Amino acid sequence: MSNEDYGYDYDYLFKIVLIGDSGVGKSNLLSRFTTDEFNIESKSTIGVEFATRTIEVENKKIKAQIWDTAGQERYRAITSAYYRGAVGALIVYDISKSSSYENCNHWLTELRENADDNVAVGLIGNKSDLAHLRAVPTDEARNFAMENQMLFTETSALNSDNVDKAFRELIVAIFQMVSKHQVDLNGSGSNNVGSNGGPKGPTISLTPAPKEDKKKKSSNCC
């Protein structure tokens, strides 16, 4: 029987976190990718929110559950729990604010301290529509990404340039890791699955869709 027969409309569920300074456009990147919407009056996220979108990769349905973690200093303490179980991350900076780019090293360090060793990472230079105010050279950011084994894309959540590309490239990278068995789906780490095929506890991680548990979990979000 297929996963659909059990009420699941995906083959894999990937938890991805968006990190970076407040005001760089993480929430609008999230809404642009998941609902193709942009809120020009978007306010800083308080706490954490998430949204989902399902795409197809090599004939497999991948459901990306994307978490928007608050970038403001006073909320950083709560983010460690949300790194747990993440198999992908996008570090976002504003190309017109050099400080947001300089802080990417902090975000990368925090990610590596709290997430799985094999987490796939992409660096996003957002607000490419503000090219006339550019403060971060593209080549400099690209080199930083290469040195740290990250994907790199410049995006504009405002006009949707490269937003799909950035998320899809990350999702494909995660899927390739699964295909190469670089992430243990059945081991003792945070990315394992329970004996019934479902994810252990509340963690949304790199797990194949459950095949035995016929009850689909409900959510009040997205």
Tell whether 220 is covered by a domain: no
**pLDDT band at 194, cuts 50/70/90?**
very low
Strands (E), 74-126: 88-94, 120-126
Average pLDDT (214-219) is 42
Total domains in the chain come to 1
Tell whether 217 is covered by a domain: no
Tell whether 127 is covered by a domain: yes
- How confident is the model over 33-49, as pLDDT tens digits? 999 888 876 666 665 68
Tell whether 18 is covered by a domain: yes
Tell whether 26 is covered by a domain: yes
Determine the number of helices (DSSP H) and then strands (DSSP E) in the chain: 6, 7
Distance, CA of 66 to CA of 72 (rounded, Å)? 18
Tell whether 199 is covered by a domain: yes
Residue range of the domain that includes 187: 3-208
In this prediction, residue 145 carries a pLDDT of 98
**Of the candidates 77, 96, 78, 94, the residue with the CA atom closest to the CA atom of residue 20:** 94
- How confident is the model over 76-125, as pLDDT tens digits? 555 677 788 999 999 999 999 999 999 999 999 999 999 988 999 999 99
Tell whether 221 is covered by a domain: no
Tell whether 110 is covered by a domain: yes
Q: Tell me, what CATH number does 71's domain have?
A: 3.40.50.300
